[in-house]
Amino acid sequence: MLSRRNFLKTGLITGAAGLPLASQLNALDAPPMVAAQEHGGEVTLVPLPPRMAPVDASAEPWQKRVRRVGQTNMTEHDPAVMNVEEWADYWHSAKAEIVFISVTGILAYYPSKVPFHRHGKYLNGRDFFGECANAAKKRGMRVVARMSPDLNWGDALAAHPEWAMRHADGSVQHSGEEPRLFKTCMFTSYMDDYVPAIMREINSLYDVDCFYTNGWPPLGSLPDCHCAVCSKLPASSTPAYWRVFTDRVLDLWHRYDAIAKEKKQDSFFFANSGGNVRGGPNLDRLGKTLEWFQADNQGRTQFEPAIWGCSLQGRVCNAVLDGKFAANVTAAYASSFPGWRNASKNPAEIRMWLDQTLASGMVPYLHFVGAEKGFDEDRRWQPVGRDWLDWSAKHDAHLTTRRSIANIGVVLGQGTQLLYPGPATVRGRNYMRETTDGIYDALLRGRFAWDYVHEDRLDAERLKKYRALLLPNIAILSDAQCEQLRAYVRGGGSLMASFETSLYDENLKPRDEFALGDVFGIRKGGDVVGTNGNPYYARIEHPPSPHPLLAGFGDTNWLPGAENRVPLRPVDDPLLTVVPGFVRYPPELAYPPVSQTDEPAVVLRENGAGRTAWFAGDLERSYWITGNGDLLRLMHNTIRWLTRDERPVHVEGPGLVEMFCWETGPGYAVHLLNYNTPDAQHGWVQSIEPLGAQHVSLKLPAGVRVRSVELLRAGQSVPHEVEGGVLRFTVPALDEYEVAAITVGE
Ligand SMILES: [Zn+2]
């Protein structure tokens, strides 16, 4: 049988990179394609699950059929200058099926009679909202009534001082940029009375399809207010406050939703969501409540620089929505800090964010701030968005996802992301972001197929699709969650965990011992140890036979450890032991006073079909901040050992590529995102370097036949082969993005 290495050596794929695409495709007809190999080990393809029953689209809520969303975010000056017909024509030409139109709450875009709903100063009695809504409806587009409940003006404050968010000294919290605006408190009657009054007024005047609040609830961090109501609540940023906050958000959400439905039953309310792994309200509860997840994740900033920022959001949505609708906002404007909100963003960055939206299972949503600026001053974003959206409209059937194909679950510890302060040695909010980026990067480089699994959704039914669960420093876990993980391992599942995982309960109360200690066979040996000079090393203890975790580690007796660790008590036959950290400078003293200990750096266990691996150190974050290849290899080796290298889909080829595989209505879709650019982890993409051939293989469910494999971006079919139920084909070249759409039949 031809090995992959020999296959590549024939030059039929890689050697043909310079040929026109058609020539490469012809060349592919010749050689047999074989199961991929990497790092010297076999990958075992496991069959995809039986296909889901067909969906009756007419029985689904209307928003599930929305595939493109458009928004020109209206400014106060727009009513004076915006050409309503031109605005509506653009979004119609871009195939948007629904547009956001501002009602607002800060400035009324219609002749509102609600007290303190100040008319924009260029409105002059005009019904701007109504004209826009009519223009959209005339073209067959639905309308979202967009409100902003987060800020209001001095006259409202004078009449209702209780509406304001307050500092600890009792003073009013104002907008940082416009001090005439005060911040409204979500626990006050502003939200109980003022927002419903606007909603009811809109329902009485217009035919809108749903309501949305911008700017509320807050994302990524929790409010800190000391008004009369809030001063009776638990302190902000505590688990108790997070629960009260979620209760209030969902209570208002239900009430607003009921108001939306007073006019028509298929209307609904939704609000700002997103914040990826941090979120705002508890995402498990939010997912059960909402009908539209509005991922307000508009673009990369220096605070969230990783290139996969939008895909990360999509993976979070998939963990909590159970197939409900999610749209992710792509800022076509410069969404950075500092940001130029009325100028276009790099075209490649706009496209990449839209690509990630689709690849990760969300619906694309294009956004520009200001009609005056977006249709007059800077029009460059328009063809970028329209061309891309127009392309997507040709392939809606293949681009609509039904179920992710993955066999690894990464536990999304939202509580840890929001509330855990970091270990005692490295306090800070970046700590868990860096941990998240570390495991994310490792999974992409290993081409693993993975999902997030929310901490509150660890039930056996949901976990059964996963061969392994990864817990990258999930510090906060309740006893009940630990029991679910215990049951998962008893049932044959595998686990990887690191560092402070399970050392805090759901109230952020530290535990004396790891709650998952019995599952992993570990006991705590001391408090967190950080780094002052050389971090600790992991000594290879030469097991009787080479262990798969050590594959590729020749010619060394030790490996890097991590920046921080929680010391463990000794175990029998440790594979790696800790060599404690020591002086880094001066070099005269850069040697370990103690070169061998019995403190384990990793603890491995086999439990029947399942395996567990515990790392004493924070290797995911240490990998992210150093790029250390040994830490990457150790994570890859561990994940491969835990899963016995089983994969539901395998894509092999050069480059940093993010892969998603979905079951779709027509068959399957393999999405490949090319991240090969100097701008991958900083700033915006100027351009993406094309990559060579990517070899795709997956094992079909019994009885499923493949009719065709089509590359939706390249716009052509590729040959495929099915042997022993395994489908194989090659994407000859990968530009920015490709979707291999597999059509199946019986
Ligand atoms: Zn308050």
Rounded average pLDDT over 252-274: 97
Residue 220's pLDDT is 87
Ligand 1 centroid, distance to 169 Cα (angstroms): 13
Side-chain half-sphere of 598: how many Cα atoms within 13 Å? 5
Which is nearest to 493 in space by CA: 516, 522, 456, 519? Answer: 519
* CA atoms of 328 and 310, how far apart (whole Å): 8
Q: Are 368 and 298 in contact (CB under 8 A)?
A: no
Judged against a pLDDT cut of 70, whether residue 288 lies above it is answered with yes
Alpha helices in 556-666 (DSSP H): 619-626, 629-643
Segment 374-394 shows an average pLDDT of: 95
What is the 605 CA–ligand 1 centroid distance (Å)? 50
Q: What is the pLDDT of residue 259?
A: 98
pTM of the model: 0.94
- C-alpha 227 – ligand 1 centre gap (Å): 4
pLDDT band at residue 42 under the 50/70/90 scheme:
confident
Handedness of CA 399, 402, 407, 413 (dihedral sign): positive
Element (H, E) at 674: strand 667-674
CB 359 within 8 A of CB 677: no
pLDDT at 448 over 60: yes
DSSP H helical segments within 379-463, as ranges? 381-393, 396-399, 414-419, 430-445, 460-463
Beta-carbon contacts of residue 450 (< 8 Å; ≥ 6 apart):
315, 406, 407, 408, 409, 410, 443, 470
| Residue 373, token pair as written in the block | 């600026």
Q: Is 646 exposed, middle or buried (0-12, 13-18, 19+ CB in 10 A)?
A: middle
User: What does the mean pLDDT of the chain come to?
Assistant: 93
pLDDT at residue 11, rounded to an integer = 29
Looking at residue 656, its pLDDT comes to 97
59-70 mean pLDDT? 96
Inform me whether the pLDDT recorded for 142 exceeds 80: yes
**Measured between alpha carbons, how far is 158 from 506 in angstroms, rounded to an integer?**
41
For residue 726, the CA-to-ligand 1 centroid distance in Å is: 59
Q: What is the 309 CA–ligand 1 centroid distance (Å)?
A: 31
The widest CA-to-CA distance across the chain, in whole angstroms, is 85
- Which positions ≥6 away from 483 have C-beta within 8 Å? none
CA 252 to chain centre: 26
Per-residue pLDDT tens for 680-721?
999 899 999 999 999 999 999 999 999 999 999 999 999 999
The alpha carbons of the chain give a radius of gyration, in whole angstroms, of 27
- Give the distance (Å) from ligand 1 centre to CA of residue 244: 12
Q: What is the mean pLDDT of residues 409-428?
A: 97
Cα 162 off chain centre by: 37
**Is 544 within 8 Å of 550 (Cβ atoms)?**
no
Say what the alpha-carbon torsion angle 460, 273, 388, 742 is, to the nearest 10 degrees: 10
Q: What's the 618 CA to ligand 1 centre distance in angstroms?
A: 37
Residue 501 · residue 475 · CB < 8 Å = yes
The mean per-residue pLDDT over the stretch 208-228 comes to 96
174 Cα: distance to centroid of ligand 1 (angstroms):
13
Which of 125-129, 217-221, 411-415, 499-503 is predicted with the least confidence, judged by mean pLDDT?
217-221
The answer, yes or no, to whether residue 405 has pLDDT greater than 60, is yes
The confidence score (pLDDT) of residue 41 equals: 52
Dihedral angle, C-alpha 247, 477, 496, 626, nearest 10 °:
80
Q: What share of the chain is helix, strand, coil (3-state, %, to 5)?
A: 30, 25, 45
545-569 burial, b at 16+ Cβ within 10 Å, e below that, comes to: eebebbbebeeeebbbbbbbbbbbe
Expressed in angstroms and rounded, the spacing between residue 240 Cα and the centre of ligand 1 is 16
Q: If 0-12 CB within 10 Å is exposed, 13-18 middle and 19+ buried, where does residue 122 land?
A: middle
CA of 468 to the centre of ligand 1 (A): 43
Q: Report the Cα 349 to chain-centroid distance in Å.
A: 17
Give the model's confidence band at 372: pLDDT under 50 very low, under 70 low, under 90 confident, else very high. Answer: confident
Report residue 373's pLDDT band, with 50, 70 and 90 as the boundaries.
Answer: confident
pLDDT number for residue 343: 94
Residue 26 has pLDDT above 90, yes or no: no
Supply 730's token pair. 């090659």
Cα-Cα-Cα-Cα torsion 177, 178, 179, 182, nearest 10 degrees, comes to -100
Span from the CA of 211 to the centroid of ligand 1 (angstroms): 24
Q: Ligand 1: distance of its center to the CA of 708 in Å?
A: 58
Residue bearing tokens 């595939």: 67
C-alpha span between 494 and 594 (Å, rounded): 34
CA of 616 to the centre of ligand 1 (A): 41
From ligand 1's centre to the CA of 183, what distance in Å? 10
pLDDT exceeding 70 applies to what percent of the chain? 94
9 pLDDT exceeds 50?
A: no
Pairing of strands 142-147, 98-102: parallel
Residue 648 and residue 87: Cα distance in Å, rounded?
45
pLDDT number for residue 544: 62
Mean pLDDT score, 147-174 = 98
Q: How far is the CA of 213 from the centre of ligand 1 (A)?
A: 18
Average pLDDT over residues 440-445: 98
State the distance from the centre of ligand 1 to the C-alpha of 163, rounded, in angstroms. Answer: 8
Q: Are 209 and 263 in contact (CB under 8 A)?
A: no
pLDDT of residue 659: 98
Would you say 422 and 477 are in contact if contact means Cβ atoms under 8 Å apart? no
168 C-alpha to center of ligand 1: Å?
A: 11
Rounded to whole angstroms, the Cα distance separating 157 from 174 reads 11
User: What confidence tens digit (pLDDT) does each residue in 578-591 have?
Assistant: 999 999 999 999 99
Q: Is the pLDDT of residue 5 over 70?
A: no
Burial 226-255, CB ≥16 within 10 A → b, else e: bbebbeebeebbebebbbbbbebbbebbeb
- pLDDT digits 0-9 by tens, 221-246: 899 999 999 999 999 999 999 999 99
Where does the pLDDT of residue 40 fall: very low under 50, low under 70, confident under 90, or very high at 90 and above? very low
Residue 554 alpha carbon to ligand 1 centre in Å:
60
Whether the per-residue pLDDT at 124 is higher than 90: the answer is yes
User: Residue 385 forms beta bridges with which residues?
Assistant: none
Asked if residue 1 has pLDDT above 50, the reply is no
What pLDDT is stored for residue 36 in this prediction?
A: 37
Q: What whole-number distance in Å separates Cα of residue 124 and Cα of residue 79?
A: 9
The position carrying tokens 């889909």 is: 649
Per mean pLDDT, which range of 248-257, 392-401, 540-549, 618-627 is the poorest? 540-549
| Ligand 1 geometric centre to CA of 28 (Å) | 65
Residue 376 per-residue DSSP state: I
Structural contact between residues 143 and 133, judged by C-beta atoms closer than 8 angstroms: yes
pLDDT at 543: 66
Task: Give the whole-angstrom CA distance, residue 523 versus residue 516.
Answer: 9
The answer, yes or no, to whether residue 15 has pLDDT greater than 90, is no
CA 184 to ligand 1 centroid distance, Å: 8
Q: What is the mean pLDDT of residues 508-513?
A: 98
The whole-number pLDDT of residue 609 equals: 85
pLDDT band at 152 (very low <50, low <70, confident <90, very high): very high
